[in-house]
Amino acid sequence: MSSEEIVKFMRSMRSVRRFAPRPVPEDAIRGILEVGRWTGSAKNTQPWELLLVREPATLQALSKLGQFAEHLARAPMAVLLIMNSTANRFDSGRLAERLMLGGWAYGVGSCIASLFPEENEAQAKQLLRVPGDREMRTAISFGYPADVAALRASSDAGRRSVLPMGRKPLNDLVHLERYGEHII
């Protein structure tokens, strides 16, 4: 793969919230978890564990534990990020992105589901028998996109997302040498 193709691949990953019913094969799951395992962390502390969920009843229960977590119920699998403490949020962001890009390398789409407020997180931990002192705010649903439209941020079956889709132009977010000096 050329550099241009890799950049195109990375840019192309969008959140997918509607999934085809077919399961994610074992080799893809292994690949996703391996990419996650090699994520860098502060002082290489690797302050995380991952929990893979495929049981539909569990996915259904988790989908009710976040305001925008309903896509978990439609996914063939989810990975929960179990962090050692609340001090590891930067690490968990990196981990999440790596797992998602790992999935995308297999054509597997994904979307973050934030488990909140705190009572919901506590309920999710109880459901999955995760020790109370860990942080578990993030679940990621994984599955093959249901159709082409699912790659364009449709939030729910047949319903378009209310979230804006595009991005700020590069010139609005990058400064050159001094704040306020733009690249173009």
Shortest reach from residue 165's CB to ligand FMN, in Å: 7
Give whichever of 47 and 145 is closer to ligand FMN, judged by the CB atom: 145
Q: Are 36 and 102 in contact (CB under 8 A)?
A: yes
CB 109 within 8 A of CB 73: no
Distance, in Å, from the CA atom of 108 to the CA atom of 103, rounded to the nearest integer, reads 5
Q: Which is nearer to ligand FMN, 29 or 104 (CB)?
A: 104
Nearer to ligand FMN, 46 or 161 (CB): 161
CA dist., res. 38 & res. 30, Å (int):
13
> Taking the complex as a whole, how short is the minimal distance between the CB of residue 30 and ligand FMN, in angstroms?
24
Q: Which residues between 109 and 168 bind ligand FMN (CB under 6 A)?
A: 111-114, 153, 163
At which residue do the structure tokens 């704040």 appear? 179
In sequence order, the 6+-apart residues with CB closer than 8 A to the CB of 103 are 24, 28, 32, 109, 110, 142
CB of 103 to ligand FMN, least distance (A): 13
Interacting residues with ligand FMN (CB under 6 A):
14-15, 17, 66, 68-69, 71, 111-114, 153, 163
